[in-house]
C-alpha cells in the first residue's frame, strides 16, 4: 500500500477512495480486491493522456513559449469595463494558464515595482534545493505594522496547482481594484495581507518538470533522499516529506506515516523541514504574532470549507461558533457565484482525521482567529482530481474570492467597521433585467472567445451571459 498514490484518502469503512498506480500493479491489486469482495472501477485508464488534455503542451514548450502569453486573449477576458487601471496593464500575468515558480516570483516583483506604496515582496526562508519561499504583503501604507493581518497561502502540496493559481487571483483582485472598488480599498487601507502563493516551490517545480504522472502528481517537498532496507534486504530510497503533516499539532498521530516512502510521511520530527519552519518563524515573529485574524490555506480537491480541528472527530476550538457562522456564510457567498457547492465542517468530520496540519497549528499555537483550509474545485466525484482544466481556473478564483471576502468582512466587523458597498461585476443588472432590452453583445471579444473555446458559454456562464448574450444565444 505504501507504493500507492492516493488522490482521495480513505475516510471511513465503506467509503470510496481514488488511487493512482503503475500499470504493472493493476492486475495484482484488482485480484486482491476481487478476492476480498471490494468493488472497484478504473476511472482513468491513462493519466498521462489526461494531463495532456487538461493542461496542454509539454511543460518545456510551455515555458519556452511563455513570452507570448502576455498577449493572450485571456487577459481581455479578465478585464472589465471599470478596470481601467487594471494590474494587467502594468504587472502582466496570464490567468488562463499555469506557470512556473520563476514566472510567479517575477510577477510578484513586478507588482512591488509598479505599486510600491501598497505592495512589498518578502521571503520567509529557503528550501532544501535553495529556492526562496517568496510572498507579498499588501496594505496601505505598506510600512505600517500595527494593523490586523490576513494570511493566505497555497501550494503546500506540489500537485495542487489550482490552489496556487487561486492565491495569485486574490492578489490580482486587491491590486487591480484598489482605488476603484470602495470595499477592496477599505480592505487594503485597514488590514495587512500576507500571501505566500507557493509554500513548496521545490515540489511544485518538480511536478512541472515532466508530464509523467509520477512527476505531475508529486505531493511532498524534495527533501534529501533517505534510504532503508526492505524485508528482502534490498536498498530502497525515497524523497520528501508531506509538509502538511510536519507541523507541531498532535504530530506523529493519526493520518500521518513514519514510512519515508509514504505520501503522508510526517518527517523525522515536528518542523523538520525548511518550509514548515519558515511559516512557523514568520507567524511567530514580532511582526505578526498576536495580530493574525485570518489564516487561510488553499488545497485541492473536493470542494470543502474546513475549520479546525482535524486530528479527531468532534474536536473543536472554543470559538467554534464564530468559525461556523462565518464559514457557512462564506460557503453561501461562494455558491452564489456559479452554483458550486462546498461541504462545511471540521477536517476530521467531513474529510478524514489527520495530524500535523498547518491550519490546526495556526489556530492552537499561532493564535489565529478565523482559520480555514479550503479544498477547491473539482468535486470528489470528478475523475480529473488534481488536473483541473485551465478553463476552470478563473471561475475557481472568482468564486473562492467571494467566500474569502466574507471572512475579511467579518474581521472588519469585529473592529466595529462596516465595509462600504462593493462595485464589482455582481452589482451589474441581472440577466432577467436585460431581457427586455435589445439582445446584443456587450463585449467586442465574444466571437474570439467562442472561437478559442467553443464551450466557454457554459463553463463561464454567468460572465458570458452578461457580456455575450447574443453570441451565446442566451436571448
Question: What residues act catalytically?
Answer: 375
Helices (H), 99-221: 101-114, 161-177, 182-190, 201-208, 213-216
Contacts of 138 (CB under 8 A, 6+ apart): 118, 119, 171, 174, 175, 188, 192, 193, 195
The pairing of strands 304-307 and 18-20 is: unpaired
CA atoms lying within 13 Å on the CB side of residue 333: 19
Element holding 302 (H helix, E strand): strand 292-302
Q: How is 387-399 classified by DSSP, letter by letter?
A: ---GGGHHHHHHH
Number of H helices, E strands in the chain: 18, 12
Q: What letters, b where the CB count within 10 A reaches 16 and e where it falls short, cover 264-276?
A: bbbbeebbebbbb
Taking the CA atoms of residue 189, residue 288, residue 248 and residue 200 in that order, the dihedral angle to the nearest 10 degrees is 60
Phi, psi of 297 (to 5 degrees): -120, 130
**Residue 88 near residue 96 (C-beta atoms within 8 A):** no
**Residue 80 near residue 425 (C-beta atoms within 8 A):** yes
- Name the β-bridge partners of 344: 305
Positive or negative, the Cα torsion across 236, 239, 242, 245? positive
Instruction: Give helix 201-208 / helix 101-114 axis angle, nearest 10°.
Output: 120
Q: Three-state SS for 151?
A: strand
CB atoms within 10 A of CB 247: 27
Amino acid at each position: 500500500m505504501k507504493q500507492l498514490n492516493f488522490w482521495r484518502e480513505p475516510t471511513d469503512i465503506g467509503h470510496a477512495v481514488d488511487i493512482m498506480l503503475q500499470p504493472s500493479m493493476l492486475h495484482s491489486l484488482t485480484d486482491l480486491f476481487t478476492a476480498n469482495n471490494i468493488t472497484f472501477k478504473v476511472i482513468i485508464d491513462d493519466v498521462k493522456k489526461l494531463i495532456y488534455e487538461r493542461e496542454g503542451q509539454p511543460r518545456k514548450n510551455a515555458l519556452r513559449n511563455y513570452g507570448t502569453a502576455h498577449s493572450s486573449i485571456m487577459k481581455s477576458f479578465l478585464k472589465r469595463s471599470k478596470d481601467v487601471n487594471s494590474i494587467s496593464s502594468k504587472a502582466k500575468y496570464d490567468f488562463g494558464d499555469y506557470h512556473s515558480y520563476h514566472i510567479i516570483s517575477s510577477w510578484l516583483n513586478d507588482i512591488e515595482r509598479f505599486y510600491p506604496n501598497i505592495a512589498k515582496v518578502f521571503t520567509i526562508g529557503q528550501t532544501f534545493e535553495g529556492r526562496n519561499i517568496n510572498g507579498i504583503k499588501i496594505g496601505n501604507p505598506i510600512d505600517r505594522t500595527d494593523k490586523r493581518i490576513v494570511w493566505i497561502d497555497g501550494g503546500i502540496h506540489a500537485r495542487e496547482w489550482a490552489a496556487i493559481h487561486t492565491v495569485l487571483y486574490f492578489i490580482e483582485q486587491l491590486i487591480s481594484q484598489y482605488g476603484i472598488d470602495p470595499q477592496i480599498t477599505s480592505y487594503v487601507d485597514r488590514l495587512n495581507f500576507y500571501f505566500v502563493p507557493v509554500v513548496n516551490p521545490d515540489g511544485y517545480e518538480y511536478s512541472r518538470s515532466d508530464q509523467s504522472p509520477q512527476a505531475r502528481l508529486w505531493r511532498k517537498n524534495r527533501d534529501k533522499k533517505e534510504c532503508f532496507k526492505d524485508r528482502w534486504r534490498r536498498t530502497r530510497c525515497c524523497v520528501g516529506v508531506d509538509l502538511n503533516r510536519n507541523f507541531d499539532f498532535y504530530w506523529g498521530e493519526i493520518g500521518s506515516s513514519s514510512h519515508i516512502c509514504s505520501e503522508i510521511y510526517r518527517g523525522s520530527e515536528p518542523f523538520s523541514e525548511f518550509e514548515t519552519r519558515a511559516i512557523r518563524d514568520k507567524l511567530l515573529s514580532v511582526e505578526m504574532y498576536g495580530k493574525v485574524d485570518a489564516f487561510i490555506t488553499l488545497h485541492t480537491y473536493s470542494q470543502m470549507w474546513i475549520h479546525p480541528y482535524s486530528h479527531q472527530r468532534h474536536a473543536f476550538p472554543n470559538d467554534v461558533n464564530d468559525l461556523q457562522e462565518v464559514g457557512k456564510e462564506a460557503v453561501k457567498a461562494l455558491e452564489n457565484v456559479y452554483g458550486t457547492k462546498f461541504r462545511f465542517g471540521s477536517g476530521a468530520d467531513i474529510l478524514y482525521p489527520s495530524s500535523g496540519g498547518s491550519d490546526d497549528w495556526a489556530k492552537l499555537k499561532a493564535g489565529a482567529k478565523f482559520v480555514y483550509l479550503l479544498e477547491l474545485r473539482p468535486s470528489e466525484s470528478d475523475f480529473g482530481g488534481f488536473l483541473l482544466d485551465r478553463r476552470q481556473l478563473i471561475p475557481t478564483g472568482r468564486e473562492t474570492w467571494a467566500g474569502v471576502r466574507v471572512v475579511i468582512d467579518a474581521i472588519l466587523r469585529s473592529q466595529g467597521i462596516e465595509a462600504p458597498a462593493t462595485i464589482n461585476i455582481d452589482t451589474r443588472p441581472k440577466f432577467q433585467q436585460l431581457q427586455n432590452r435589445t439582445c446584443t453583445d456587450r463585449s467586442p471579444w465574444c466571437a474570439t472567445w467562442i472561437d478559442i473555446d467553443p464551450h466557454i458559454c457554459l463553463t463561464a456562464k454567468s460572465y458570458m451571459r452578461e457580456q455575450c448574450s447574443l453570441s451565446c444565444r442566451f436571448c
